[in-house]
Amino acid sequence: MTAPRRLLARLRDLRAHGAAPLSALVRVVSAELVSEVCSVYVQRPGDILELAATEGLNPNAVGRTRLRIGEGIVGLCAATGTVMNLPDAQNHPAFAYRPETGEEPFASMLAVPVRRAGRVLGVLVVQNRTPRHFTADEVDELETVAMLLVDLLPESGATEGSPEGLAGTVPRLFTGTALMGGLAVGPVLLLRGNRAPIRLLADDPRAEQRRLEEAVDRMQRGLDDLFAGIPHSGRPADVTASREVLDAYRLVAADAGWLRRVSEVIRGGVTAEAAVQRVATELHDRMRRIGDAYLRERLADIEDLANRLLTTLIGDGPTGPVPEDAILAARRIGPAELLDWHARGIAGVAIEEASPAGHAAILARALAIPAIGGLRGMLDSIEPGDDAIVDADEAHLILRPEHEVREAYRRVKETRGAKYAGLASLRDKPVVTADGVGLKLMLNIGLALELPQLERTGADGIGLFRTEIAMMARGLITDVAEQASLYARVLDQCGDRPVLFRTLDLGADKLLPGTVSEEENPAMGWRSLRVGLDRPAVLRRQLRGLLLAAGDRDLSVMFPMVATVAEFKAAKALLIAEAKRVRPTPGRLRVGSMLEIPALLWQLPELLKETDFISIGTNDLAQFLYAADRGTPSLYDRYDFLSQPMLDILEQVVATAHAAGVPVSVCGEAAARPLEALVLAALGVTSLSMPASAILPMKSMFAGVELAAFRSVLAAVRRGATGRLREPLATWTRERGILTP
């Protein structure tokens, strides 16, 4: 019998004779792991960790030795939820000396948190005199014992940790990242992953392996049924899946890697459900250590599948009605789980860990569910019965709002719903200002799922098709035929309306498996066109797919993150070379450049001789201009887009391009903000590209403004301003009813 199975067998025998005291458990663990000390610390009210049992330390310290959460190595283990494996614990900066324990002779320490549903109940510790790192097998065994303690510690009076430590009656405001705009006001549904107690120890590992395989098969069939029942026509809000995202999820579900790890744990002597739970915990720990948001989202898909498999094994999925206007609060959520909850009627989503590029965010946008991510600490502050407000337009979650605040948001939501219903009459009308200036409003999209928004909004075309989004959803760079199929669907849907295809913009926060960046600042490193030029086979494959999709139709292709004219010429040469090999050739082939890197501003005359159009990406242009990472929350409001330097640049680009006869559009986030869009139009930009939700409100706004009058105001404000320009411009528009909440 292997050491882990022998340990589990002894612990099972111990439990079989009734409630096993912690003192007996630590003796067994100490003997089986050949450790000189084994101790259990239990969490008490007030965020205190108390020594509850020990084998090897002074027994008189039991009940006397206490540490605060975050104090000492044990307290740090509890606070962070991470394993502490230290060869020389007493020289660690966090070590807290407690003379009553008599632990001076012991150098090495292994501390493992005991967790239930993400909250710490206590800490299990082993120590030895010899300075050494504990092996991976020893860590594995102690973590398995920690799973047993989940049921034992509450019997010893353990309380669940709550880092916030706040009363559940005080309103709280959390600010995160908007995943899908909109408002939701209602009761909170807390998704913490609490499940019925599971059987831990197995009598027959081979039988447990068969149970796992049967459960995987049932889970796969359940996913097929879930996806097959999804409508693919009707209102965009009812189109509940995209082929790209769901195919990617299926690929992850079929990946043998994580299931192989579950099988390994089963062979150690635990049940199938315990093994799945263990792997889900390991994935959670891995995600905590990964800085890249997209890779965390990929692991979140696997964790979602592990939880789904656990539900299949023990049969305790969500039941009962969902309250009206309910807001789902989760640490993470996968696409299948989001589809489940959407079908049950949730009105909004608040997620502690999510990025705009993740699968859940993509589906939230497709389903038009107001959603916010990056709400750290949210779950620890939520109490049963709480109400909340999801203000996804401002990326705010208001927990336990005051009555007046809640009612004010309800009124805004009702007014906005009526307003948007009235805007539908503008769908088929051209965008024209009150003084007769015509504009073009285009869509920013990246999935075939979003194509119905063309008809719903009456957009003039697609000003930015993000070709990398579908590949990120699939988790791989697709082949020529698959790319051509997607691009052809886009062109078919658009008909005579223009489509600007941006080539792969990978790198920074948008990664595919195998493209992990170890750069200190990936936003300014190997990304976008640099990747395409260094890996020309990948770029050629995409260009060939675009050309095949176009056939004899017009095709517009633009390259992202161009820093020099030489880079643009090299990319353009690849496109032209591919066009000579593909038949039929496009009716008209237009080649454009994104303008995102300030260095290109000093090369404009030369660039304009080579390019057919320019599209300004305001997001990267602003972050490079101000050396301010747009992903850093503390810098969100530090640098205003409506500033003299930015407007001077835009004015220069528009004037130079118009003189050369080259059209200019803007496809960054600024184009979707009303005041910024108004300023861009006043500077001479006549084509703006934005998300679908902004098209109709923007049509309404432009119809009510005399652009010539606003242009005069803008010029006067710029001449006289010594600080920010936003306030006087916003005041002028509000006073005339142009911009309203």
- Tell me the C-alpha distance between 32 and 348, whole Å: 50
Residue 69 confidence (pLDDT): 80
pLDDT of residue 361: 79
Assigned CATH for 427-735: 3.20.20.60
What is the structure's pLDDT at 712?
92
CATH number of 168-193+323-424: 3.50.30.10
| Local confidence band at 438 (pLDDT 50, 70, 90 cut-offs) | very high
As a whole number, the mean pLDDT across the chain is: 79
Residue 434 tokens read as 């009150």
The stretches of 551-626 forming alpha helices (DSSP H) are 565-579, 604-610, 618-626
Burial category of 169 from C-beta neighbours within 10 Å (exposed 0-12, middle 13-18, buried 19 and up)? exposed
Domain ranges of the chain: 3-156, 168-193+323-424, 196-315, 427-735
Q: What is the band of 513 on the pLDDT scale with cuts at 50, 70, 90?
A: very low
What band does 409 get if pLDDT is binned at 50, 70 and 90? confident
For position 237, what pLDDT does the model report?
35
Q: pLDDT band for 147, please (50, 70, 90 cuts).
A: confident
Q: Which amino acid is at 42?
A: V
List pLDDT tens digits, range 84-114: 888 888 877 678 888 889 888 898 999 999 8
pLDDT at 194 over 80: no
pLDDT, position 711: 93
Residue 437 reports pLDDT greater than 90: yes
- How large a percentage of the chain has pLDDT more than 90? 28
For residue 289, what pLDDT is reported?
57
- pTM of the predicted model as reported, rounded to 2 decimal places: 0.55
Architecture of the domain spanning 196-315: Orthogonal Bundle (1.10)
Q: In the structure, what pLDDT confidence band is assigned to residue 71 with cuts at 50, 70 and 90?
A: confident
**φ/ψ of residue 519, rounded to 5:** -75, 150
Burial 409-448 (b: 16+ CB within 10 A, else e): beebbeeeeeeeeebeebeeeebebeeebebbbbbbbbbb
CA 439 to chain centroid: 34
219-267 pLDDT, tens digit per residue, is 777 666 655 545 444 334 334 334 455 555 555 555 556 677 788 888 8
Residues designated as active site: 359, 667
Tell me, what's the pLDDT at 166? Answer: 34
CA torsion angle for 188, 633, 358, 238 (degrees, to 10)?
Answer: 50
Distances (CA, A) of 206 to 210, 308, 314, 631, 658: 6, 22, 18, 48, 73
Query: What's the pLDDT tens digit per position in 370-389?
Result: 999 888 878 878 887 889 99
Least confident of 288-297, 527-536, 618-627: 288-297
Question: How does pLDDT run across 473-510, given as a tens digit for each residue?
Answer: 555 677 898 889 989 999 999 999 999 999 988 654 44
Measured CA to CA in angstroms, residue 561 lies from 512, 531, 619 at distances of: 18, 10, 11
Sole residue written with tokens 């051509």: 484
Q: How far apart are CA 245 and CA 252, in angstroms?
A: 11
Q: Classify residue 75 as exposed, middle or buried by CB count within 10 Å of its CB (0-12, 13-18, 19+).
A: buried
Neighbouring C-beta atoms of residue 730, cutoff 10 Å: 15
Assign a CATH topology to domain 3-156: Beta-Lactamase (3.30.450)
Range 660-669 burial, b when 16+ CB lie within 10 A, else e: eebbbbbbbb
* pLDDT number for residue 164: 36
Between residues 24 and 689, the one the model is more confident about: 689
Confidence of residue 528 (pLDDT cuts 50, 70, 90): confident
* Amino acid type, 503: T
354/545: higher pLDDT: 545
Confidence class for position 406, pLDDT limits 50, 70, 90: confident
Cα–Cα distance measured from residue 327 to residue 349, given in angstroms and rounded to the nearest whole number = 6
Per-residue confidence (pLDDT) for residue 470, from 0 to 100: 72
What are 607's two structure tokens?
């660039």
**146 CB contacts (<8 Å, ≥6 apart)?**
112, 113, 114, 115, 124
pLDDT band at 139 (very low <50, low <70, confident <90, very high): confident
pLDDT score for 371: 92
The pLDDT assigned to 171 comes to: 72
**Residues whose CB is less than 8 angstroms from the CB of residue 62 and which lie 6 or more positions away in sequence, other chains included:** 51, 52, 53, 54
